[in-house]
Chain A
Amino acid sequence: MGVFPRRRLAAVALVAATALFATAGCAGDEPAKDGKITLTVDVFSQFGYEELYKEYMASHPNVKIVERGTGTNLDDYSPKLTQWLAAGKGAGDVVAIEEGLMVEYKANPDNFVNLLDHGGAELQGNFLEWKWKGGMTQDGKLIGLGTDVGGMAMCYRTDLFAKAGLPTDREAVSKLWPTWQDYVKVGEQFKAKNTGASFLDAATNIFNTIVLQTAGNAQGYHYYDTSGNLVVDSNPAVRQAWDTTMDIIDSGLSGKYGSWSEEWVSAFKQAKFATIACPAWMTGVIEGNAGAEAKGKWDIARVPGNGGNWGGSWLAVPTQSKHRAEAIELAKFLTSAKGQIGAFKAKGPLPSSPQALADPAIVDAKNAYFSDAPVGQIFGEGAKTLKPVYMGPKNQAVRTEVENAVRTVELGQRKPDQGWTDAVNNAKKAAAK
């Protein structure tokens, strides 16, 4: 009996130990095989970096690049990034940060490497001034290098325009709508022809375009003023954009395909709407959603009103990265004029580098998918003179509330006045959370 229990005890200990190891086993880093460093890049939607990675790996044989997140919705991406940063573990070595969330990340700059400590200052001339400043925190740390800027245009389907008896040539179309009121009038003409398609995709897309444009041309801020006070209800730019959007909804021009939803994607495929406000990065999204069969049926005209910016991102290096020096090098490469041109060619995001914007590769660029539209000129023109819009501390949460209020009116759940009250009240609540 003396031997048996001991053996049994050993067995128990073994089982317990195995169980503990099994749970702890996944921790720890993978060993560096053949001396290579793996750099992870986290992006969302379409950044168009694939070719650039190949080139970079060819010139840096010790680096292997893994990208995560192409095609991921920004709403799925940003919570993940935030969780990784909060947990101090899991984020890529280079991460993309979108405009609307930059403010929140900038409020906690310790999560990111201050690029000024790593030769970042020399790069200032490579970026449009406001884009450069956008990557900088209040206390003068540089946490992000600019990738793209939004630019603004109006994409439209020539086949549906022809069906409705409207001009299809991009110059002629641009002349149809110098203002948003004209855009509504064209929409009403389009609607009267019963093409089976609606004039535009969703009210929120048009609202975002108008509010950013109006604010950019006026005070330079929309939901928050530059000292961080919530001004949704008192800023005339917001109210003006709201009223214009209500006109569009009221005229029945919207297809009500909630932006980024599955129905929205289906509507692209089935040619269910004729126009969509398109910042430069949207061209890649349209091509992806509408698919190869719609090639040459799309074109790009000027946006009603006067220019504007929507979106654009920065690349940052989280302090939790284990290969900071290499990650910083990669981020510099991807945001260099050359990198930005490469991304533009692949997926259409408009460079934030003046050198790239002046480069013949951009200036003369045509997009075959959009009937050979001179995208470099259309978007590049506005980008250099663009006035950015300041985004306040809880920009994303506030924007969500206002957008939702727009959608309730669009779906007929609220009258415009009620919708506005909701927008203001819910924005205030969200800002306080």
Chain B
Amino acid sequence: MTVQLDPRPPVAPAPRTGRRTPAMRFSRLDTKYSPYLFIAPFFVLFGVFGAYPLIYTFWVSLHDWDLLGSNHPFVGLENYSRLLEDPDFWHAVVNTLGIFVISTVPQLLAALWLANLLNRQLRARTTFRMAVLIPNITSTAAVAIVFGVLFGREFGMVNWLLDLVGIDAIEWKSNRFASWVAISTMVDWRWTGYNALIFLAAMQAIPRDLYESAAIDGAGRARQFWSITVPLLKPTIIFTVIISTIGGLQLFTEPRLFHSGTNPIRGGTLRESQTVTMYMFENAFAPHYNFGYGSAVAWLLFALIAVVAAINVLLLRRLGGAKPPKDHAKSKEGAR
């Protein structure tokens, strides 16, 4: 009421509001935009170091780009069409997938088994749990060099041990399948413990009473593992599979350092263990210095990883079955 009776013209309070408005506006801006500012560092860094190189690589892949040359003519998708007809590229794809399969499958199974063991009541449990991570903190280069020597044809320890039990020396570096196996052992040695710890963390979130009631129902250890642990770990397994797919298909250091001598980027005389990343490097840098072609390889690798990861996830969804998590939710509520 009094407001209506106020004799002053409506403009009069303006100076006061004028003084207040910036603060209010600021406060409103703050609540509206501060969160973006908070998350900005990541996206700025991602833009600079992630998105920009990605787009630039694609731009380069559309050109005939001699690394040392000064002009780079635009060639459209020619690099891609040449690449799709390049037998050496497909050879590298088969190598990469081969090494990926024979390293990832046993690796994840071993990690699961190891995590299950570590999840039991053990003496010095923390020590063991830390110990499985040790291979992971050693330098990849050192591991690759040591394994490269172990798998040497003439002076290698593996062949020496095989000789002791009467098996003929294996040409670890010039036999395609043998070289895959040798490289897979390096990958397994390094990443099994890491994945085991991820599985272990997830296992500890599984309520104990599930196992207790299973035990009462007469389920043995193995049955408990396959019917409770594995189904409940499915999201974690999917996560590790995706991470391993990305890492496995980008394998570079291990196979690169496994071969020494002239032109090791080739992965052996007949490209026995040349992965796609190595093929990318061979083309983008020495000896071809063809940056455009190398960039096209990089983009096709990106596509390959996306496809393989998607296939893996679809397969896992099918294999795991959807029932146990529901039971789990029920019994969890029941327990409460």
Residues of A within 8 A of B (CB): 1-2, 5-6, 8-9, 12-13, 15-16, 19-20, 23, 75, 78-79, 82-83, 85-86, 104-105, 107-108, 110-111, 204, 256-264, 266-267, 270, 272, 394, 396-397, 400, 403-404, 407-408, 411, 413, 430, 433
Contact = CB atoms under 8 A, between A and B. Distances in A.
B68 A19 contact: no
B48 A2 contact: no
Nearest to A258: B261
B262 A78 contact: no
Interface stretch (B3-11, B23-31, B208-216): B23-31
Interface residues on chain B, size class: 35 or more
- Interface class of chain A by DSSP: helix
Given A5-B27, A404-B266, 10 more contacts: A8-B34, A16-B44, A20-B41, A23-B45, A75-B265, A258-B260, A260-B262, A262-B145, A394-B287, A400-B263
A31 B216 CA distance: 75
Contacts of B18: none
The 9 closest A-B pairs by CB, nearest first: A261-B261, A79-B286, A397-B287, A258-B261, A79-B285, A19-B41, A5-B30, A261-B260, A108-B68
Contacts of B287: 394, 396-397, 400, 430
Nearest to A20: B44
Contacts of B171: 411
B30 A9 contact: yes
Given A23-B48, A262-B149, A264-B261, A12 B286 contact: no
Contact of A104 (B48, B68, B152, B283): B68
Nearest to A1: B27
A12 B262 contact: no
Contact of A403 (B26, B69, B262): B262
Contacts of B261: 258-264
B290 interface: yes
24 contacts: A5-B27, A9-B30, A12-B34, A16-B44, A20-B41, A23-B45, A75-B264, A79-B285, A79-B286, A82-B289, A85-B68, A104-B289, A108-B68, A110-B70, A257-B154, A259-B262, A260-B260, A261-B259, A263-B154, A263-B155, A397-B287, A400-B287, A411-B174, A433-B293
B267 to A, nearest CB: 11
Contacts of B262: 75, 204, 258-261, 400, 403
B27 A404 contact: no
B60 to A, nearest CB: 11
B179 to A, nearest CB: 12
Contact of B68 (A111, A204, A259): A111
B226 interface: no
Given A5-B34, A6-B26, A204-B262, A397 B288 contact: yes
Interface in B147-164: 148-149, 152-155
A105 B68 CA distance: 8
Give the residue among A259, A396, A400 with the most B Cβ atoms within 10 A: A400
Most central of B23, B45, B48, B270 by chain A CB within 10 Å? B270
Contacts of A267: 154-155
B314 interface: no
Contacts of A12: 34, 37-38
A262 B257 CA distance: 11
B269 interface: yes
Nearest to B145: A262
A259 B259 CA distance: 12
Nearest to A15: B41
Contacts of A111: 68
Interface in B188-241: none
B41 to A, nearest CB: 4
B40 interface: yes
